Amino acid sequence: MRTILPLAAVLSLLAPAVPGAQTGPASGPRPPNIVLIVADDLGYGDLGVYGHPTIKTPRLDRLAAEGVKLTSYYAAEPVCSASRFSLLTGRYSVRAGITGALMPGSRTGIAAAETTLAEVLKAAGYRTGIVGKWHLGDRPGHLPTEHGFDSYFGLLYSNDMIPPWVQTDVPLRLYRGLRPLDGEVDNSALTGRYTAEALSFIRDNQAAPFFLYLAHSMPHVPLGVPASIAGRSAGGRYGDVIEMLDWSTGEVLDELARSGLERETLVIFTSDNGPWMEMPARMFADSRIVPTDAGSAGPLRGSKATSWEGGTRVPFLARWPGRIPAGSVSSELVTGLDVLPTVAAAAGGRLPARAAIDGVDVRAVLEGKGPSPRDSFVYFSSGSARPEGIRDTRWKLRLTFPEQGAPVEALYDLSLDPAERFDVLRDHPDIAGRLRERLRQFAASLSR
């Protein structure tokens, strides 16, 4: 396999902030390039640097060694569309009525009134491109190039949204811009094709600062890698997929180095939600998907679609030589909601004025200069607009809702018990009461 497969995603999280920056290209030194790489359904425990015993990820491990590794980073939601909406807008997706994974032909999608990270950076003089999975609507008005991206190549939703897993008459097609491409989608070639497109974007957009959002379809099922590398990983075919993502990340990093952009680029690698460990029976309709095709949440409880830690706490690595201290590790609370305001401050962009932003600027965490300004995070489960929990810097109050009666509460000390094994509600009713009130205030804000 010696075709160049690129992978790239740069998210400018930390450039010199320009107080009171106006919309338009920033003056002074060139702001950083942004590469944001997002895997699909990658779990907290799936990388070597996060403790996986058999899957080898040397390039991602090196990325961590050259930058920062976060251990309390949360995708904003535990499922695809909702998480991606929050990542690109800095807003809880429930505010926009997106609570799950959008289906082919859905009338729901990202609205014109929303301001995306791509639009913020484009207004600041950036070239913007997305390669990979979009999943914020596949109808006119909801497409990537209608929401701030200059270019697009990829799938408009998940690679499983075809029979027998999803009943639809809409064929799965790769898109370039607004145009669907002919031919069936080959899952085994997706990571390679995305990587090649990402590398081309980097080569073609060096005259101005650029934002590359590389949104992989893997390791969402059905899994796929080229036959030439199948079976190489000790972690089975899931391991093959993760190790190819690792290779792809390495290709992106190498291209930045060859282009002389390494020190001018903020690279972020993360996941859209936790691993899909509890797939419904319909996903095993044929042998292309088996239970071991799911990843690992490591020491965390739960997985994708749930409000347990394993649903949203995922890997987050960031590198920016000279700005992010090499080899740093932080347990500060950071979420996908925080990417937009952080990058906007770094790039000299302006935050959206028309909508409430739930994210905060966390450059101090990434640069090792101070604690996170975020003091809470609200949990949801897939498809639900009802909050199911809240955490502060230490404690998590989680709610379950029986068919009848009042919600059942549990309290966990995440500093001692990230696996959520021990309910300590009876020992700390005052803490539970404080978190309950904060959750009530948040729920009230959704109706305003």
Contact 37, 7 (CB under 8 A): yes
pLDDT digits (tens, 9 = 90+) for 119-172: 999 999 999 999 999 999 999 999 999 999 999 999 999 999 999 999 999 999
Q: Is residue 348 part of a domain?
A: yes
Q: Is residue 299 part of a domain?
A: yes
- Answer yes or no: do 343 and 427 share one domain: no
Average of per-residue pLDDT values in the chain = 93
Q: What is the CATH number of the domain that holds 347?
A: 3.40.720.10
Least confident of 1-10, 212-221, 423-432: 1-10
In terms of C-beta density within 10 A (0-12 exposed, 13-18 middle, 19 or more buried), how is residue 409 classed?
middle
How far apart are the C-alpha atoms of 232 and 262, rounded to whole Å?
Answer: 30
- State whether residue 322 is helix, strand or coil: coil
Residue 4 pLDDT class (50, 70, 90 cuts): very low
From 374, 404, 422, give the residue that closes a domain: 374
pLDDT digits (tens, 9 = 90+) for 323-374: 999 999 999 999 999 999 999 999 999 998 877 899 999 999 999 999 999 9
Write out 226-244 in H/E/C secondary structure.
Answer: CCCCCCCCCCHHHHHHHHH
pLDDT digits (tens, 9 = 90+) for 391-414: 999 999 999 999 999 999 999 999
Single pTM value for the model = 0.93
Residue 23 pLDDT exceeds 90: no
- Answer yes or no: do 308 and 404 share one domain: no
Residue 212 pLDDT exceeds 70: yes
Q: Is residue 10 part of a domain?
A: no
**Confidence at residue 447, expressed as pLDDT on a 0 to 100 scale:** 76
- Answer yes or no: do 162 and 55 share one domain: yes
Query: Domain limits at 413?
Result: 389-445
Domain count, the chain: 2
Q: What is the CATH number of the domain that holds 428?
A: 3.30.1120.10
C-alpha 328: how far from its chain's center?
Answer: 21
Rg (CA), the chain: 20
- Answer yes or no: do 355 and 439 share one domain: no
Residues designated as active site:
80, 135
- Answer yes or no: do 398 and 327 share one domain: no
